[in-house]
Amino acid sequence: MRRLSKFIAPAGVAASLLALGGCGVTITQVPKNTPPGSVGSVASNSGSGGSMFSFGSGTPASNPGQIQVNAYLWRAALNTLAFMPLVSADPFGGVIITDWYIPPATPDERFKVNAYILGQQLTADAIQVSVFHQVQQGGQWVDAPADPSVASGLEDRILAEAANLQAEAQNTKG
């Protein structure tokens, strides 16, 4: 069985950004080389704006227009998972859900990924990735165990990309 990790796009892949319909939030497109914290604003129904990649001060209820997760991890997760079709990306909750991805070399299997950014710190325990795997049997997709190294490999790539983004941002400030 070929693993999903062989099909992961390079970390420099530009992320696709979504407009969150139905909840009144619009995310502006972000240029690839723009460091987090200096990007366009996010509009919300409450009228309070904020930078898409800035951290809120206080609780989400007191600052509903700002992200409460680590901006570098968020951006790195989008970059790392950009080769897969996105179903949902919630920058406020730190959740990215992909649709099923069928690797071109193995059309009889497919993968789906959920990524969770769990906090504001750039640490290994602030990112959690779940990988789902299915194989085609008799024309039906059947759940199959996912290799745990695929999820940990994606987490490692996201952490490395986040560290690179943070280093680039610090280098451009000085």
Per-residue tokens: 165: 């983004």
Q: What is the largest CA-CA distance in the chain?
A: 59
H/E run at residue 29: none
Q: What is the pLDDT along the chain (174 residues), one digit of tens a residue?
A: 444 444 443 333 323 322 223 333 333 333 344 344 333 323 233 333 334 443 333 344 445 556 689 999 999 999 999 999 999 999 989 999 999 999 999 999 999 999 999 999 999 999 999 999 999 999 999 999 999 999 999 999 999 999 999 999 999 876
Whose tokens are 């990524």? That residue is: 115
Three-class DSSP labels, 90-131 = ECCCCEEEECCECCCCCCCEEEEEEEEECCCCCCHHHEEEEE
Contact 75, 60 (CB under 8 A): no
